[in-house]
Structure 1
Amino acid sequence: MNWIILIIGGLLESIFAMSLGKMQHTLGKEMWLWLAVFVVSVSLSMFLLFKSMGGSHPIPTGTAYAVWAGIGAVGTVVLGILVFKEPVTLWRILFLSTLIISIVGLQFTSTHD
């Protein structure tokens, strides 16, 4: 269950990063809406990271943080491509793939108490 919590927290990290980008391109009420999305998503993301490191099967802190940040990074790049029309290059896909492989590897090699 802690891995599911951590994955959701990582996805919310992507949302708070994207909302920062959207805030830079808006004004007035729309900017405040993106600020609200940022505050809610960063709060939930951090809380879920915290929750994933506790309970009956805690994820070690280093592993949890690395996976959380990696999921957020991958999600942010994907959202950047889809929302902000950032370029899709061979190198970006290659390094994104190695990041995903690393995240999965950390999950499989994580020790549980």
Structure 2
Amino acid sequence: MVISGLFEIVWAIGLSYSEGLTRLYPSIFTLVAMWLSFSFLSQAFKYVPIGTAYAIFTGIGAVGITIVGILWFKEPATIQRMACILLILIGIIGPKVLSQE
């Protein structure tokens, strides 16, 4: 799941650079990263409940791309935004911890 989430971050960045999939190389990079992301996610479904796996996958992507946006694209890092990221992190960690009975 972690690898699939990391590839989700990669393809989101690539999508930004592809300018709506109109630039060839960034578009190819984005589509390959998407394929890898979903391939790894589909493998995670074999071992982790689908809801837990998907929550972790989307959480890693959301938190990761927000951090990249702040660091790389100079997006604002307001206290409200950081509080929301913290809530997402709790949402990522919670299902994983609670599903290990």
Q: What is the TM-score normalised by the length of structure 1? A: 0.81
What CA RMSD, in Å, does the superposition of the two structures yield over aligned residues?
1.6
Task: After TM superposition, give the deviation of residue 68 of structure 1 in Å.
Answer: 0.4
Distance of 2:81 and 2:19 partners within structure 1: 24
Q: How does 1:6-85 map to 2 (within 5 A)?
A: 6-24=1-19, 31-54=23-46, 58-85=47-74
What is the total number of aligned residue pairs between the two structures?
100
The Cα of 1:36 is off from its aligned counterpart by 1.4
Deviation by residue 1:42-96 (Cα, 9 ceiling, x = unmatched)? 0000000000111xxx100111111101111111111111221111100110100
Q: Any gaps of 5 or more consecutive residues in structure 2?
A: none
**Greater Cα radius of gyration, structure 1 or 2:** 1
For 2:39, what is the secondary structure of its paired residue? helix
Q: Which runs of 5+ in 1 are unaligned?
A: 1-5
1:106 corresponds to which residue? 95
Secondary structure, in 3 states, of the residue corresponding to 1:85? coil
**Matching residue of 1:90:** 79
Task: Compute the TM-score of the two structures, normalised by the length of structure 2.
Answer: 0.90
Distance 1:32 1:81 in 2: 26
Give 4+ residue runs of structure 1 displaced > 2 Å after superposition.
none
